[in-house]
Each structure stands twice: as C-alpha cells, then as structure tokens.
Copies of this chain bind each other. A is one copy, B any other.
Amino acid sequence: MDPQTAITGRELILAASAIGAGLAMIAGIGPGIGQGYAAGKAAEAVGRQPEAQGDVIRTMILGQAVAETTGIYGLVIAIILLFVQPLLG
C-alpha cells in the first residue's frame, strides 16, 4: 500500500473526533427544551401579573442560565476535539 494514500492511525483519530464533536452537540436538545419551558411559564406569569414582570424575567433568566451549562459542556468538548485534539500523542 502506498504510504502516501494509506489511512494512518492519526487520521482515524481525527475522523473519529469529527463524529465525537457532532455527538457532543446533541446535548443541546436539553437546554433548548428546558429553557423554552421556562420561557413559556414566564410568559404565562407575565400575562397574569404584568406588574411582576421584572421579578419573573429575572427568575427565568437565572434558571435558564443554569439550564445552559450542559449545553456549554458539550460545546467545550466539541471544541476540544476539533481544535485541541488531545488524543493525538
């Protein structure tokens, strides 16, 4: 086999990193659902008590920020796989 064209182990690891990065992003399903639920409940609460709008929105944003974390974790792992490439020796 021509060494110029054979697949090396290094290239196999990089190919698997592309798939791993894509898989890591699937985590984003969760924050999307959860933050949308929070948005819906906040909209409902504001419709009932427009004068509490500031408190409701502040609570929603704080809770949504916590719900964002696992989506960020997935993004961080994807970026590590794509740019840091720690599996290459």
Contacts and interface: CB of A to CB of B under 8 A. Distances in A.
Interface of A: 1-50, 52-53, 55-57, 59-64, 66-71, 73-75, 77-78, 80-83, 85-88
A70 to B, nearest CB: 3
A6 B1 contact: yes
B34 A39 contact: yes
B56 A14 contact: no
B24 A21 contact: yes
A64 B63 CA distance: 8
Which residue among A14, A47, A60 has the maximum number of chain B CB atoms within 10 Å of its CB?
Answer: A47
A15 to B, nearest CB: 4
A65 to B, nearest CB: 8
